[in-house]
Amino acid sequence: MTSTHETTTPADLDPANPFAAPSALPYGLPDFSVIREEHYEPAILAGMAAHRAEVEAIATNPEPATVENTLVALERSGQLLGRAARAYFNQLPSDSTPGLEDIQERLAPLFSAHRDAINMDARLHERVRALADAAEAGDLDLEPDTAYLVEKLMTQFKRSGIALSLGDQDTLRELNARITSLEASFGRKLLAGANEAGVLVTDEAELAGLSADAKAGARAAAAARGQDGWLLEMQLFTHQNVLASLEDAATRERVQSASMARGATGGENDTREVLLELARLRAHHAQLLGYEHHAAYIAADATAGTTAAVNEMLGRLAPAAVANARREAADLATVGGGSPSGGVAAADWSYLNEAVRKERFNLDDAALRPYLELERVLHDGVFKAAGLLFGLSFVERPDLPGYHPDVRVFEVFDAAEPGEPGTGLGLFLGDFYTRESKRGGAWMDSLVVQSTLLGEKPVVVNNLNIVKPPAGDPTLLVWDEVTTLFHEFGHALHGLLSDVRYPSQSGTSVPRDFVEYPSQVNEMWSWDPQILTSFAVHHTTGEPMPAQWVDTMLASRIWGEGFSTTEYLAAALLDQAWHQLTPDQVPTSVEDVLPFEAAALAAAGVDFASVPPRYRSTYFNHIFGGGYSAGYYSYIWSEVLDADTVQWYAENGGLTRENGEAFRRKLLARGGSQDPLVSFADLRGRAAEITPLLERRGLV
Ligand SMILES: [Zn+2]
């Protein structure tokens, strides 16, 4: 099977392969009722071959370059590859199998080589440059989105190493291929390691404090692996949610230790060797292209621009955040008769925090959960806010197939006026439950990207990791999961409300330090009194959440910001520390990984043992397994824009259709068709300011 790519041409793809022709389902939804694991690889390989042939035709076109024969032709190319690859890369993290993982291992270097072949094609570069030069000279009038496309393409060529010697280009290709396959290997080890790290409890007494649902889930998780007892499964981040409710300190300590040891336990799932090689190769790659290190290479293509700008922002926040966390620790240490100087173990933080929260704010996650039922939160919260702001409505389509029985498909309608049925805008797929085959975390993906050029409407997916209740029981959420639902839906809206010509500029195709911004903004609606009172209704009695609880929740929002900002910043600073190294500065021994981490945290002033980084290096999937290397700072960079936008909404009357329309047209719809900071300034009337964020997080 591995060698089929050598002989595959588009004509070789079995016409019965579901990817061979565009899907006949509404909105081009891939027909998951017939797609099988074995369809992905041949379709992707045939797609690569077809794409290469299309690009070859563009590059060798004897006619002089025009927008139509070069830019538009490029945008139209690669459709078979796009449809197969998007479906595959959606399913891989969400419902993986050993077979799908194997495909990834085989294809990763080919994808990398495929991208290189296009980005390093000198003939293509010449054609785009001819257009750029003509526009520059005033001989060619480009529409703004096309001009921006040309600018981005020229940057892409430069960053791909088109100006390098042929020998250096070969080195760069080898580096790209190796880096991509190391990233895949990191992700695979991490998933296997997380499954292995789950904490098995055999004495029920050790689970005191855990809700009946959580216990049932843990019981089922153990049973699913043929084990007796209760299996506490690992979430991706350091600080496991169960720590807030486990009464037994020894169990908490076991969970915390297992969580923090992931990736550094020796054996097959140890990630240290992989991450060291990644750090070294990325640094090498950056230097070949003329950047000091990987972080500088990444910042240059983001809205941040430079590493100095990133360091400056993180440096401004870190001392204030850690000081806040230390104050919170002193506060927590007094619980149960302790003294403020007694300190708080990381394993105990959530539990004590929950106790203080209950005492001070009289809030109890367990008591809140019956008021946070998934269907209500979805329909009367997430969808309702999108309706009031953007005029959207959602109709579930059980007739349309998902890639897993848990996946739900909704058709999204866009009403010009309230009360009108509206026109079909796209599809939204919700995949809410955790399962062994799904990676941790929550994310959005696109199966079809919006483009007026291709006449395609968006199909987007949200993945969450909510523990599935026993059959027939309602899905009751904790507040964090409610926020996550709104957050991921913010990404979905970015994809759904995209209104651009070129597919490469669609929706979330924006720099990564901007992409979290619309999703963070959408979180604000979970707190909006009108929305909150609509979805926070008791799932059996129908009674609204007591008004006093709502007030208390609002009042308690800033509580715990010291902890959460510090754990986040520690991870962001770690990411920068690894990626601000030159190749020869990267440690060479796996024994140096954790000491390097400790030293980096100390140097940045975030070495506060009570608050470990949100991800340690050895299980930091965002930066070593995925696309966020040197970019984890992006969340807080985006949050600067977010906090400023929340203020804009407040200044303009909050949750209104008019405000939603402005946010939609000036920002979401524009996608990556212009500089995103231009979109932001267009909405806000000025550049972003940092003060609203400092205020929000209690850091002023
Ligand atoms: Zn996000």
Q: What is the 3-state secondary structure (H, E, C) of 77-95?
A: CCHHHHHHHHHHHHHHHHC
**What amino acid occupies position 415?**
A
Q: Which residues contact 91 (CB under 8 A, 6 or more apart)?
A: 100, 403
- Are the C-beta atoms of residues 638 and 515 closer than 8 Å to each other? yes
Mean pLDDT, residues 589-605 taken together: 97
602 or 342, which is more confident? Answer: 602
Catalytic residues: 488
The strand pairing partners of 423, in sequence order, are 414
Strands 408-414 vs 392-396: parallel, antiparallel or unpaired = antiparallel
The strand pairing partners of 459, in sequence order, are 427, 448
Question: What's the number of CA atoms in the CB half-sphere (13 Å) around residue 379?
Answer: 7
Report the separation in Å between the CA atom of 381 and the middle of ligand 1, taken as the mean of its atom positions: 18
Report the separation in Å between the CA atom of 132 and the middle of ligand 1, taken as the mean of its atom positions: 34
Q: Phi and psi for 352 in degrees, rounded to 5?
A: -65, -40
| DSSP structural state of residue 65 | P
Report the separation in Å between the CA atom of 690 and the middle of ligand 1, taken as the mean of its atom positions: 20
Report the separation in Å between the CA atom of 151 and the middle of ligand 1, taken as the mean of its atom positions: 27
What's the longest Cα–Cα distance across the chain? 83
Mean pLDDT, residues 322-329 taken together: 92
Q: For residues 688 and 700, what is the distance between their CA atoms, to the nearest angstrom? A: 17
**What amino acid occupies position 43?**
A
Measure Cα distances from 520 to 212, 470, 552 in Å: 32, 31, 22
> Two tokens at 583?
């190749």
Q: For residues 495 and 493, what is the distance between their CA atoms, to the nearest angstrom? A: 5
pLDDT in tens, 97-127: 999 999 998 998 899 889 989 998 999 999 9
How far, in whole angstroms, is CA 254 from its chain's centroid? 29
- Are the C-beta atoms of residues 327 and 320 closer than 8 Å to each other? no
> What's the pLDDT band for 560 if we cut at 50, 70, 90?
confident
Mean pLDDT, residues 589-603 taken together: 97
Measure Cα distances from 389 to 8, 375, 460, 490 in Å: 48, 20, 19, 12
- The answer, yes or no, to whether residue 340 has pLDDT greater than 80, is no
| DSSP structural state of residue 468 | P
The b-or-e profile of 597-613 (16+ CB within 10 A means b, else e) is beebbeebbbbbebbbb
Mean pLDDT, residues 403-414 taken together: 97
pLDDT in tens, 610-619: 999 999 999 9
Q: What count of other Cβ atoms lies within 10 Å of the Cβ of residue 72?
A: 17
CA nearest 475: which of 432, 444, 438, 435?
A: 432
- Are the C-beta atoms of residues 478 and 365 closer than 8 Å to each other? yes
Report the separation in Å between the CA atom of 368 and the middle of ligand 1, taken as the mean of its atom positions: 25
| Residues making up the chain, counted from first to last | 700
Q: What share of the chain is helix, strand, coil (3-state, %, to 5)?
A: 60, 5, 35
Report the separation in Å between the CA atom of 185 and the middle of ligand 1, taken as the mean of its atom positions: 23
- The DSSP result for 131-161, as a single string, is HHHHHHTTSS---HHHHHHHHHHHHHHHHHT
Mean pLDDT, residues 641-648 taken together: 96
Q: For residues 42 and 10, what is the distance between their CA atoms, to the nearest angstrom? A: 10
- The answer, yes or no, to whether residue 350 has pLDDT greater than 90, is yes
Report the separation in Å between the CA atom of 517 and the middle of ligand 1, taken as the mean of its atom positions: 8
Report the separation in Å between the CA atom of 281 and the middle of ligand 1, taken as the mean of its atom positions: 27
Measure Cα distances from 694 to 14, 501, 518, 633, 636 in Å: 57, 37, 19, 16, 11
pLDDT in tens, 355-405: 887 788 877 778 899 999 999 999 999 999 999 999 999 999 999 999 999
